[in-house]
Structure 1
Amino acid sequence: MKLILKSLLLSASLCSSLALANTEAHQDYLKGTAYLNQDNYKDAITWLTSAANNGSIEAQNKIGVMYAKGIGTDVNTHLAIQYFTKAAKNESSMAYYNLGKVYESQNKFTTATNWYNKAIEMNNSNAMNNLADLYLQGKGLVQNTNQAELLYVQAAELGNATSMRNLGFLYFKGIEVKQDMEKAYFWFNLAAAKAYPEADTYRDFTGEKLYKTQRISVQNDALEWLEEHSK
């Protein structure tokens, strides 16, 4: 009986310690994020590093991005990968995506593809968009426009404005698909509705190539699509 009580007390103590550590890590993460938003990179790195080392997945991803992009510090891809890998061990789709980006930037496309696919399994739309880019360009994969289009649409349906813009370009330029100004106008409308940079310019330029009746019809279709996908 005494052994059982000791075991229960030890278990409770461990749970309490873990909860406290998680709380402290989260508080450090919030402090680091606040400093980052103020462009106080020195303090941001200090607090985010503390949070990351104490198990905050959000901090691990954020400090990893800072090292990957050289935000407030020198670029350090090795450290970035270390932090992303820590977060990935906790099945963070953002970490999978971030690892994919790092390896893609190093032209290690097969490794990047593997990480993107892991993120896609968790419905990460950014990974879908980036993998679509690789299929479209044939980087590390057999060039496959149909697969790229499918992934762009999948990401767009999850609200990814970049994929909406990319679909607009795909149909506007007729990149390995039949050129279709109505489809291009449709996707540029959606990207503009998401406030994607310059999407309104692409939309208006494409719209000039359509009749007024076509523009109105496509605009109505875009509105219906937005309503359907906001439910």
Structure 2
Amino acid sequence: MGLCYETGFGTNVNKEKAFELYQKAADLGNANGMNSLGYCYENGVGTDVDIKKALELYRKAANLENYYAQFNLALLGYCYDIGIGTEVNKQKAFELYQKAADLGNSHGINNLGWCFECGYGTIINEQMAFELYQKAADLGNINGMNSLGCCYKNGVGTDVDNHKAFELYQKAAYLGNDFSQYNLALMYEYGSDTEKDINQAIYWYKKSAEQGHGYAHEKLAELLEKLN
């Protein structure tokens, strides 16, 4: 019912009423209510913005295995990571990714791996980064698959293995990951652990470019110009 008042589904939009209903649901121990109430506090829906309360509610809901709350913790970490709606704070991003990862969220796990790989909010630990990417990939996270592929390609936390890199890029590419589509195209263009195949390279650069990958767009234009 709170969602109906928040979005105006079947009734007039009433953010304050939505907030009240989410509060009641949360007070009754409903995980979805807690997550929705956290969203209200995070974004000022029917109440004042209060990030501390939002985090508390996300944590409570996440501990009840609410996927959306776990995702919101990771998403909030990403906001601090690159400065969406707030100043960049790598330490805060790391802490939020850690919380989401501890609750089993694959996005948090992958992004925590990135922090360890690059030293964002923590010390560089390539072995830890590799293990986290592996865990995220095992959970079906396509960004984790791409990150793990990069580890095998570049020897980050493991030995270089172009064959494994190719397999991971290919799997994530077919699942729609634009970074993997770009990386797979590179391997086809230069014949890295596969036969050189310009047509396949063009195909995957195009797929990646269609999703807004800037480098893929440049490489696609470059290859097409050479062919003409």
| Alignment partner of 1:113 out of 130, 137, 152 | 130
Unaligned runs of 5+ in 2: 1-25, 62-68
User: What CA deviation, in whole Å up to 9, does each residue of 1:154-208 have, x standing for no partner?
Assistant: 1001111111111122232445655432221121122233343353432232123
Higher helix residue share: 1
Aligned CA-pair RMSD: 2.9
Name 1:82's counterpart in structure 2: 95
Distance 2:50 2:174 in 1: 34
* Cα deviation, residue 17, structure 1: 2.9
In the TM superposition, what is the alpha-carbon distance from 1:148 to its structure 2 partner? 0.8
Select which of 11, 17, 24 maps to 2:34: 24
Moved over 6 A (4+): none
Tell me the matched-pair count: 189
The share of aligned pairs that are identical, in percent, is 26
Q: Which 5+ residue runs of structure 1 have no aligned equivalent?
A: 1-14, 36-41, 212-231
Conserved? CA contact 2:173–2:181, under 8 Å: yes
Cα distance in 1, alignment partners of residues 94 and 219 from structure 2: 36
TM-score (norm 1): 0.69
Tell me, yes or no, if structure 1 residue 52 matches structure 2 residue 58: yes
Deviations 1:67-107 (A, max 9, x none): 33455135242x43433233223321111112111111123
- Asked if 1:130 corresponds to 2:158, the answer is no
Residue 159 of structure 2 corresponds to 142
* Higher Rg: 1
Whether 1:95 and 2:117 are equivalent positions in the alignment is no
Where do 1:1-231 residues align within 5 Å? Answer: 17-19=28-30, 22-30=32-40, 32-33=42-43, 43=49, 45-46=51-52, 48-55=54-61, 56-71=69-84, 72-77=86-91, 79-106=92-119, 107-175=124-192, 178-210=195-227
Q: Distance in 1 between matches of 2:118 and 2:32?
A: 33
Once the two structures are TM-superposed, the CA of residue 45 in structure 1 deviates from its matched residue by 3.8
- Partner of 2:20 in structure 1? none
